[in-house]
């Protein structure tokens, strides 16, 4: 592609594309193609002027590579096209801008050029939609805001005051357009900010399974997914059988079995089994609509405060009608009576409340916190109890293998190689430690096993060279699987360091090795616990499968109020049930498959991002694995969201109540009431989009608002 360089600075470059015209779709293709480059921070492509503004991490180092990428770019490149979401937002914004501009021009033309008689009939025709909507509401036995709108317009027309009727229609149309645009933009922006957080996939090749960047996968490629993996791309099962949790997509609570020929969707999770999938939709496609549906579903999960506000606003409509009648009865002034009809409370509440929630969810996203609905933010705000899993949550996100103790004369590196081969399919912190240690030692661990079986909260079982291989907890290896150890090795087993976590590896029912993994506490854990106490969390608990001595030591170090050791997954869920029975609101924080029952039971289940995919799927909220401070940020955002919902509610009721009183007393006309009402509605909506936390960069405010 030909271009000219218009301007360069230390970290940015501005180009002009040498084309007469760029379509919106082409501008999106170029923008997302450049965004995909690891050295590019941000890109803006203007489809009207052909200008491209690019910010680069290190322009001196990457300038030539960037310019070469632009030269090689083609609007027909399948890879570039695959990066563009199904709805980028560019066309959405232009559509509504043009609709508003045309509405304003049309209004001006009517006022200036149309004769009074034509304006009157034009207003009558435009009013039919609002009057019919009000009549439908009455016929359904509901007295809603649409009834007030229909009465205000109808009474004005009957009085011959078509100017007021025309103004009200224009303001209602404009308000609806702005409300629809703001809402869709919020959903679109949030959908664009969310992702599946899947960067690499197992690509099936003639040489076996190869770990590959998801962006390099094309339609028609074969990928392999295993138990607890998130399905990264839409496709069709060609071999194998899996049980898929697709509740985020379809709402089904029961896992669905997928056999060859069955279609699977990006973002759903494999609960059991493994299969080969033929990719149908590449990265950037297929998942967008799913994310939008998730967000729209999340709006149905409105907080109790929102629902109460909406119910109250609806309940005020009959009183508005009563007020209209009484005002006319006592004043015999139709204009004053109509003032009651020009103002309602629901419009502003319907706009500002959901936008506050969407803004809070988006703001949480800027802190690497993914939230599935306002209901869960409210639960976090109201929670007085929080339950932590220990491993991978309170402890460091990247445990380290300290040593490997071998038995029965086995080779240490060979045992580690086998363990890494079994563990690499399961994204848990302990498994990651094993795989990383094998990588550090330069050990290759090609697929050497048959189908893997994951036993929740216990371990992994498979076959290697016809012999059963298992790795997992002491209980799983020695009690469930009844593995043995020679008498001369028992002393070494009993001498294992209790300060480490242990993974036991057995082959053919004989213990071969114990992998000792140090699991240090996160350096910020103690401070986070104190901050959560300060933010109103009265009871902080830790539940772990570790022994009592280890749990007691950690609880004392972290100032934890209560701890339970040697627990099973069901024990965590039962504990939360008992807390509910005691009248408490509970948050659960975990990262493993064994935490999923408790995550489901809690008022707000919070998963760690690098934990098991199924834990992230079931959880209501996901936080980054980098640090626990995000829990504090989440609590602050949740509290701020609830405060804003309350303040918006008070403003809307107070301001609109004042407009009604001013209209009744004749201080302002019905048209002025409608104008002020709609203006305040838009203002409250825009205010709802501003950041909740004060330390957000002002640039973010301007960009989003």
pLDDT for residue 700 is more than 50: no
Cα–Cα distance list, 98 to 86, 102, 588, 685, 704 (Å): 21, 6, 47, 21, 20
> Which pLDDT band holds residue 243 (cuts at 50, 70, 90)?
confident
Give residues with Cβ within 8 angstroms of 53, minimum separation 6: 12, 13, 14, 43, 44, 45
Question: What is the pLDDT, as a whole number, of residue 412?
Answer: 93
Lowest mean pLDDT among 21-30, 263-272, 504-513: 263-272
The pLDDT tens digits for 216-227 are: 788 889 999 887
> Which pLDDT band holds residue 701 (cuts at 50, 70, 90)?
very low
Comparing 248 with 369, the larger pLDDT belongs to 369
pLDDT for residue 456 is more than 70: no
> Which pLDDT band holds residue 522 (cuts at 50, 70, 90)?
confident
Question: What is the pLDDT, as a whole number, of residue 705?
Answer: 36
- pLDDT exceeding 70 applies to what percent of the chain? 82
Phi-psi domain of 219 (left: phi exceeds 0; alpha: psi -120 through 50; beta: other): beta
Lowest mean pLDDT among 138-147, 281-290, 578-587, 593-602: 281-290
- Residue 417 token pair: 């190689």
CA dist., res. 484 & res. 475, Å (int) = 12
**DSSP helix/strand/coil, 699:** helix
| CA angle (589, 597, 608) in 5-degree steps | 30
pLDDT for residue 515 is more than 90: yes
> Which pLDDT band holds residue 613 (cuts at 50, 70, 90)?
low
CA dist., res. 432 & res. 94, Å (int) = 46
> Which pLDDT band holds residue 196 (cuts at 50, 70, 90)?
very low
The mean pLDDT value for 509-536 works out to 90
Question: What is the pLDDT, as a whole number, of residue 320?
Answer: 73
Nearest partner of 517 among 435, 625, 607, 421, judged by Cα: 435
Lowest mean pLDDT among 125-139, 176-190, 370-384, 657-671: 176-190
- Fold classification of 3-84 (topology level): Alpha-Beta Plaits (3.30.70)
* Residue pair 347/145 in contact by the 8 Å Cβ criterion: yes
200-292 maps to CATH 3.30.1640.10:
no
**DSSP character at residue 480:** I
The pLDDT tens digits for 333-368 are: 777 777 766 676 766 776 677 778 878 887 887 787
| Domain boundaries, given as residue ranges, for the chain | 3-84, 95-191+301-356+640-704, 200-292, 369-394+523-625, 400-518
* Residue pair 420/464 in contact by the 8 Å Cβ criterion: no
Question: What is the pLDDT, as a whole number, of residue 310?
Answer: 61
Lowest mean pLDDT among 71-75, 172-176, 467-471, 698-702: 698-702
pLDDT for residue 300 is more than 60: no
Nearest partner of 145 among 314, 309, 310, judged by Cα: 314
| CA angle (485, 488, 493) in 5-degree steps | 60
> Which pLDDT band holds residue 704 (cuts at 50, 70, 90)?
very low
**DSSP helix/strand/coil, 672:** helix
pLDDT, the chain, mean: 80
CATH superfamily of the 400-518 domain: Calcium-transporting ATPase, cytoplasmic domain N (3.40.1110.10)
Comparing 536 with 89, the larger pLDDT belongs to 536
- Fold classification of 369-394+523-625 (topology level): Rossmann fold (3.40.50)
First and final CA of the chain: distance in angstroms?
34
CA dist., res. 383 & res. 407, Å (int) = 48
Cα–Cα distance list, 598 to 251, 385, 582, 592 (Å): 20, 13, 17, 11
* Residue pair 191/295 in contact by the 8 Å Cβ criterion: yes
Helical (H) or strand (E) element with 677: helix 670-688
The pLDDT tens digits for 250-269 are: 545 567 889 899 988 877 77
The mean pLDDT value for 442-470 works out to 76
Burial of 291 (0-12, 13-18, 19+ CB in 10 A): buried
Question: What is the pLDDT, as a whole number, of residue 698?
Answer: 33
* Residue pair 342/674 in contact by the 8 Å Cβ criterion: yes
The mean pLDDT value for 485-494 works out to 84
> Which pLDDT band holds residue 303 (cuts at 50, 70, 90)?
low
Q: Which residues pair with 15 in a beta bridge?
A: 5, 52
- Residue 656 token pair: 């609109």
pLDDT for residue 21 is more than 50: yes
Question: What is the pLDDT, as a whole number, of residue 581?
Answer: 93
- pLDDT exceeding 90 applies to what percent of the chain? 19
Phi-psi domain of 104 (left: phi exceeds 0; alpha: psi -120 through 50; beta: other): alpha
Lowest mean pLDDT among 97-101, 175-179, 308-312, 397-401: 308-312
Question: What is the pLDDT, as a whole number, of residue 73?
Answer: 92
The mean pLDDT value for 114-126 works out to 87
Lowest mean pLDDT among 162-176, 246-260, 328-342, 616-630: 246-260
Cα–Cα distance list, 25 to 3, 22, 47, 189 (Å): 19, 8, 9, 18
Most confident of the following: 67-76, 80-89, 487-496, 683-692: 67-76
pLDDT for residue 696 is more than 50: no
CA dist., res. 603 & res. 385, Å (int) = 10
* Residue pair 467/450 in contact by the 8 Å Cβ criterion: no
């Amino acid at each position: 592609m030909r271009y000219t360089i218009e301007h360069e600075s230390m970290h940015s470059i501005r180009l002009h594309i040498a084309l007469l015209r760029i379509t919106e779709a082409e501008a999106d293709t170029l923008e997302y193609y450049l965004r995909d480059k690891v050295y590019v921070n941000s890109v803006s492509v203007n489809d009207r002027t052909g200008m491209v503004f690019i910010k680069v991490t290190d322009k001196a180092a990457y300038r030539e590579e960037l310019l070469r990428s632009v030269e090689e770019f083609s609007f027909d490149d399948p890879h570039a096209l695959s990066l563009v979401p199904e709805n980028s937002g560019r066309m959405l914004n232009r559509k509504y801008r043009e609709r508003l501009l045309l509405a304003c021009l049309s209004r001006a033309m009517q006022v200036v050029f149309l004769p009074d008689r034509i304006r009157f009939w034009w207003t009558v025709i435009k009013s039919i939609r609002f009057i019919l909507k009000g009549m439908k509401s009455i016929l359904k036995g509901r007295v809603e805001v649409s009834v007030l709108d229909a009465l205000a317009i109808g009474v004005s027309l009957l009085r011959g005051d078509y100017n007021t009727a025309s103004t009200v229609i224009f303001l209602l149309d404009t308000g609806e357009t702005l409300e629809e645009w703001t809402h869709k933009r919020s959903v679109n922006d949030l959908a664009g900010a969310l992702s599946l957080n899947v960067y690499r996939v197992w690509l099936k090749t003639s040489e076996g399974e190869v770990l590959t960047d998801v962006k390099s996968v094309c339609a028609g490629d074969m990928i392999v997914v295993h138990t607890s993996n998130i399905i990264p791309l839409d496709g069709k099962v060609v071999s194998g059988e899996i049980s898929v949790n697709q509740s985020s997509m379809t709402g089904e609570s029961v896992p669905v079995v997928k056999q060859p020929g069955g279609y699977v969707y990006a973002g759903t999770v494999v609960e059991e089994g493994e299969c080969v999938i033929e990719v149908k939709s590449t990265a950037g496609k297929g998942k967008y609509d799913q994310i939008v549906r998730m967000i729209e579903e999340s709006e149905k999960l409105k907080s109790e405060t929102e629902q109460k506000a909406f119910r109250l606003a609806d309940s005020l409509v009959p009183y508005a009608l009563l007020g209209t009648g009484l005002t006319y009865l006592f004043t015999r002034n139709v204009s004053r009576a109509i003032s009651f009809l020009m103002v309602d409370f629901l419009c502003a509440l319907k706009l500002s409340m959901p936008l506050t929630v969407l803004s809070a969810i988006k703001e949480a996203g800027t802190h690497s916190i993914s939230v599935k609905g306002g209901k869960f933010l409210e639960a976090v705000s109201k929670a007085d109890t929080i339950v932590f899993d220990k491993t991978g949550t309170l402890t460091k996100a990247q445990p380290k293998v300290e040593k490997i103790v071998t038995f029965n004369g086995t080779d240490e590196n060979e045992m580690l190689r086998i363990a890494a081969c079994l563990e690499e399919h399961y994204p848990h912190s302990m498994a990651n430690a094993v795989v990383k240690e094998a990588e550090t030692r330069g050990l290759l661990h090609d697929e050497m096993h048959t189908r893997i079986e994951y036993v929740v909260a216990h371990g992994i079982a498979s076959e290697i060279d016809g012999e059963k291989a298992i790795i997992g907890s002491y209980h799983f290896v020695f009690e469930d699987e009844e593995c043995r150890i020679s008498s001369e090795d028992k002393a070494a087993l009993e001498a294992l360091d209790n300060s480490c976590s242990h993974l036991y590896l057995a082959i053919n029912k004989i213990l071969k090795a114990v992998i000792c993994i140090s699991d240090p506490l996160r350096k910020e854990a103690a401070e986070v616990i104190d901050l959560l106490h300060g933010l109103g969390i009265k009871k902080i608990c830790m539940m772990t499968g570790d022994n009592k001595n280890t749990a007691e030591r950690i609880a004392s170090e972290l100032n934890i109020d209560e701890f339970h050791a040697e627990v099973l997954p069901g024990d965590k869920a039962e504990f939360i049930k008992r807390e509910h029975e005691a009248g408490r609101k509970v948050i659960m924080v975990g990262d493993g498959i064994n935490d999923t029952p408790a995550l489901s039971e809690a008022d707000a289940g919070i998963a760690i991002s690098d934990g098991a995919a199924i834990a992230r799927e079931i959880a209501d909220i996901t936080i980054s694995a980098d640090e626990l401070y995000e829990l504090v940020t989440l609590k602050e955002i949740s509290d701020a969201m609830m405060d804003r919902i309350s303040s918006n509610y008070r403003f809307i009721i107070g301001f609109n109540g004042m407009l009604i009183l001013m209209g009744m007393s004749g201080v302002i006309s019905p048209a002025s009431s409608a104008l002020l009402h709609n203006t305040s509605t838009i203002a409250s909506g825009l205010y709802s989009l501003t950041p909740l936390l004060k330390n957000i960069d002002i640039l973010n405010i301007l960009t989003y608002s």
